[in-house]
Copies of this chain bind each other. A is one copy, B any other.
């Protein structure tokens, strides 16, 4: 924490991480307000994100740091990190390069239920096969 402001260290020390050391983090496009995804961070990923300016999550499935975009090229750059009133959730205002979702859609939240009906509300903008090389 040498290069982070002490006030930030105090905020991070106050975060309520779950039993696995994780906290949910919402990624929102900073200028349009679109909610892109929800993922999890641990203390190391939070600190690296604040230091580098590039968003890093903790992958629960791979059990490792997940530098968003390392495989797909679809990086997230941090504009602002917000902590909620209970210190148990984060909101990341980001600049998303390309698409956030592994399906090639801008946002992961593309299945909508409205007025009693379900429908898909987002287009596929990028070929997942090209993003992930399969």
Contact = CB atoms under 8 A, between A and B. Distances in A.
A52 to B, nearest CB: 12
A80 B28 contact: no
Interface residues of A, number: 40
B113 A80 contact: yes
Nearest to A103: B85
Interface string A91-115: 1000000000111010011111110
Nearest to A32: B33
A1 interface: no
A117 B5 contact: yes
Q: How many copies does the complex hold?
A: 2
A85 B102 contact: yes
A118 B35 contact: no
B7 A118 contact: yes
A83 interface: yes
A33 B44 CA distance: 29
A35 B28 CA distance: 8
Contacts of A34: 33
Contacts of A117: 5, 7-8
B26 A79 contact: no
Given A11-B111, A82-B111, A85-B110, 6 more contacts: A5-B117, A50-B116, A80-B113, A80-B114, A83-B111, A85-B108
